[in-house]
Structure 1
């Protein structure tokens, strides 16, 4: 199993509604992108200097499934929504 974790920092001018919309769009990929086994998305509640603003946790059966998810048209659309709203992206992918 592959676990895929991504954290983003929003640009300062991104309103709260768009932050929630990003969360909703990511969560909506479950059941649409067939290789995505599970997904959880959370918005930061502390806002410390070390905090990122939003995190995604997802699971895939294999690296090939993660790659298929990355190329899925609906995932690509969500990425197009995300890119202009964030200034940082950090990711970790690991096998369990």
Structure 2
């Protein structure tokens, strides 16, 4: 199993409504993209975040599912919206879960 972690930093003009809409759209990916086991996203409340506003975790069946996720049209639509609302920076970590 693969864990995909994304931290997102937005511009000052990104609204809370836009962030909530991003979460709504992102969570729908579970039903649209094969190989997603679980997907969670939320607004960061930590004071230790170095300015990152939101976190996302996606758990995939395997590496092939992760590789298919990026170019999938449904993911590309969410990514376009993310850029549209003012994405400034991101950090991405992928690792294999050892059971």
TM-score w.r.t. length of structure 1: 0.91
Range with bigger deviation, 46-55 or 62-71: 46-55
Alignment of 1:74-93 (within 5 A): 74-84=74-84, 85-93=86-94
RMSD, aligned CA:
1.4
Change (3 A) 1:12 1:22: same
Deviation at 1:22, TM superposition (A): 0.8
Aligned to 2:11: 11
Report the number of matched residues.
96
Aligned to 2:61: 61
Moved over 6 A (4+): none
Q: Which runs of 5+ in 1 are unaligned?
A: none
Change (3 A) 1:27 1:49: closer
Contact 1:44 1:51 in 2 (8 A): no
The alignment partner of 2:95 has SS state of strand
Report whether the alignment pairs 1:95 with 2:96.
yes
Report the Cα distance in structure 2 between the residues aligned to 1:53 and 1:76, rounded to whole angstroms.
21
Report the Cα distance in structure 1 between the residues aligned to 2:27 and 2:49, rounded to whole angstroms.
26
Range with bigger deviation, 73-82 or 49-58: 49-58
Report the Cα distance in structure 2 between the residues aligned to 1:70 and 1:41, rounded to whole angstroms.
17
Change (3 A) 1:14 1:35: same
